[in-house]
Chains A and B, each alone.
Chain A
Amino acid sequence: MAAPETTPTQGPGIAGVLPIALALGLFTWFASFLPTVAAGEVVRLAWDWVPSLGIALSFTIDGLSLTFSLLISGIGTLVFLYSRTYLGSHKQFARFVLFLASFMLAMLGLVLADNLIALFVFWELTTITSYLLIGFGHEGANSRRSALQALFVTGAGALALLAGFILLGFTAGSFELSEIVKLGPQITSDPMYPAILVLVLAGAFTKSAQFPFHFWLPNAMAAPTPVSAFLHSATMVKAGVYLMARLHPALSGTDVWMWTLTIAGVITAVFASVVSIRQTDIKQTLAYTTLMALGTLTALLGQSSEYAMTAFATFLVTHSLYKASLFLMIGCVDYSTGTRDANALGGLARAMPVTAAAAGLAALSMAGLPPFIGFISKELQYAGALEVQTSVIFVAAGALAANALMFAVAGIAAYKPFWRPAQMEFARTPKEAPATMVAGPILLATLGLIFGLMPGIAATYLVAPTVATFLGTTEAAKELKLWAGVNIPLFLSLATFALGFVLYALHGRMRAALAAMEPALPNFDSMWDKFLVGLKAFAAWQTRIIQTGYLRQYLVWTFLTILLTLAGTMVLRGVMPAMPDLTQVTWMSLALALLTAAGAIMAAVTGSRIMAMAALGVVGIGVAMLFIVFAAPDVAITQLLVETLVVVLVAVALLRLPSLDRPGESDWRPRDALLGAAIGTVITLIMLSVLQQPLDLTLTDYFEATSWPEAFGRNIVNVILVDFRALDTFGEIAVVVIAALSSYALLRTTDKGGAK
């Protein structure tokens, strides 16, 4: 299978360097905004896109979006560097890099967009690129399934989100986020608020994998490791969190906001931390801890206090640093040893000292030990949890449980593989991963330590401006410090360490107990499969009923639908035309009407095909004559010509088909006759009631007045077609061409090779 010209020395070429330069350039550019934004300013760029609909390509750089942009482009740089070695010899590496770079740009667009519609477009772009990246190993059925699952879940959420955005835009009177967040209580008191909230949260919860939509995220780990590190821990899954944060000033503060986010967040966090203990694949373990982080961020966003907002901003940065680092680290381990099984790995510290150091630094931050930024972040979480307006016990207990479990998981993921005695012989001798691969983890993990030792840097440039996005001023941010005195958060931290240590010691038994319990618990993943099976069965069932393959059946359904909607509307609205005044009917129109009716009846009852065709021709010509009587020559000419062509085409087609009836068989079909008569009656009644309305001549007058002076034409029909409504006409002729080409293709393919 392997192409002979592919040699192991073949490097990734330009595809390896270009994206690194792109990401690094963007990172530098964003970093140049740091002093401006830290001073509390907001930079705004805008171009008109669809001005008539209020849609603009407008971008805002404020604390929140700058923090996200720096994380995206910074981690992006390291991930591209890492991929260059990790996947550089893959034969579709260029494609991979293209997907990943497109994702990065879409994600940057998402966090920078100031317009709801633009934000939505970028949102969908991240969904699509995420689908392509999860399914990158598309030869595997599991990859395809996971990719499709992620696409469906987040795509369905995105549809709800679009509806929510449109409602929000109309309620607020603007699609610009910077305008919307200024309105505050005006939106939360609007009657549309509950609908907006439900729809927006549906989008945010599916994207950020909140319970009960969490199941797609662990499956998304089918993607290559750099993708997991980038999309499914540090950036894309935070899009939902970002959205909730961005709309926080406009939508938060109500009971329903607080309770929904608190409950969903805490349940997700605790549930995910417990399940992460159960996993043996370290990558899966880390995937569930990502869910825990997303839950914590969501729960923090449910609040509005200064502590909660500061904790949100700090934990956002902290988590991205240590989690991306750990994901890249486990990729290095996998690259070196060929396994990610927590039970198998051990004793790697000697062989892979740099990876072990990175893992250790990141894990200490994750466990929340001083002097890492993770410790400060955890203290702030507890301080925020103690101030919640919903239920302090619920939130604080949830945070304690989740953080203690994180402590244990940090030990499982980063201590055990390196420091316990070797468990087995590996397929290949483990050795340190190349410098390009360890650079990312070690850099990110060290940043966690630097921010912890010098919290002022993170506070001034990232946390305070982010908090200003929520609360209006950088002054509102709480100070980040390692020693905050003896207070309740400190005791909670000590309790976390103690509990976490016990949990780590017991994790083998917990894992066994959880594995034993698993069959009894609801499995969302298999419920998803059942849902898909049910959906397909429903589609097959309704297709069997409605689309039988008989043209006659299709016509019955079509006309039945028309009849029910039209007649139903008439009955519900109480429309019933008065008896028309028949004294003014001229003998000529009466004769034409009778001729047309006679043709129609003849076409229905005749047993001969050529007769039916001729009768239909009579109907068409009768209608054309009526047009002439009522002075519409253009329509009449068109009708006559089309009628002629139809007769030719139908003659060609029908004459080669078998006879309409078998001799001796009754041709009486009362159901069809009834349906036909009913449709005719309803249409007649509608026409009569339309004619009895006063005719609105505004448009007619407008075209009569402007046709000659503005469009230089006296034939109003044609002027409307080619000038006033030229865009419509263009759409119609495009349809004509498509119809002609597709019927040509159909005719060409069906008869090929068959005997004439």
Chain B
Amino acid sequence: MATYTEAETPDFVAEAGATPRIALSGAWSLHAERRLEKKSSEIVKSARDAKSVVFDFAAVTRLDTAGAFALNRARCELAAAGVDVAIAGARPEHLILLERMHYREAPPPAKGENFIVALLADLGEQISGGFRDAYGITAFLGEFVSVLGRVIARPRLFRATSLVYQMENFSVRSIPIIVIMNLTVGAIVAQQGIYELLRFGASVYVVDLVGILVLREMGVLLTAIMIAGRCGSAITAEIGSMKVREEVDALRAMGMSPMEVLSVPRVLALALSMPLLTFLADMAAIVGGMLTSWAYGGISPAAFIALLQTAITIRTFMVGLIKAPVMGMVIGLIATQEGLATQGSAESLGWRVTASVVKSIFTVIILDGLFAVFFTAINF
């Protein structure tokens, strides 16, 4: 390091003779960095052929654990070559250090597996992990339902305060972002729709386009994706750090079920918040569509509303809304399950939060597809 002057760097002079003397000098400390090792192996080289050798510590200005260790390494290597090493001129603290810092070789690093084998093993691990995840979430759902049943049977167990608190967090605080996002998306759909439909002289059908698309699919899907990102991640991070800090174990030890205390209020809060937010999302998107239709297509709001009434039925609206609580539950279940699966490290927590968001968005989209197939099949 820069603060150490040349005079303080570790060095030695080999004095020849029947018993060569290695006159050590300078600071044999860790701050010499690579020089420490270099000098240590130079000592071995210069004294290898002697029968015995003396290490003279008289001129050593500083010795620390690393310095003592490096010198002991030289001693051991000389001993292995059949050279006797004696110590001279060492202060008492040097002797203690030399004794405490005796040399031992670091165990060789564990041999890595073959690259191909590791790759295949990783692939297998990933695939079986996928199945384990599916199994895990199913088992979790089962446990959740049984705990929910217990809570319904004994409403005293129900944590109403927690539910209200979580609902405030999840729904009230999400309103601005949900409304702005859906207003914009509704406006974009209407604007793009008008330009395409204008070519067929059918620009009034933009009302059908916006009404059906938003109410059936877009409103609920966008809300679910935003909630997965905004609330699902927060739930996983919160429960995950509680797990790391043994708070979840503390709950268990006090006879409380983490599922009942942590999962049920959050999942229910999401299941109740999602329809409310979806309703707001629908309204915002329709208003957005209405405004751009007015600006780009010359359809007045009054005309827009009249057209909307013929374009959609209450069913169109219900299709979107029915999906909302299911998606809320799925997001909540995945988020709490990932949170409770967190293990010890900060890295694990990071992975779990990412997995929670990715899995819930993926599941929500797949679920939306299944709903679409189902509703078509029953002509709803």
Is chain B a partner of chain A in the same complex? no
Interface residues, chain B, with chain A CB atoms under 8 Å away:
none
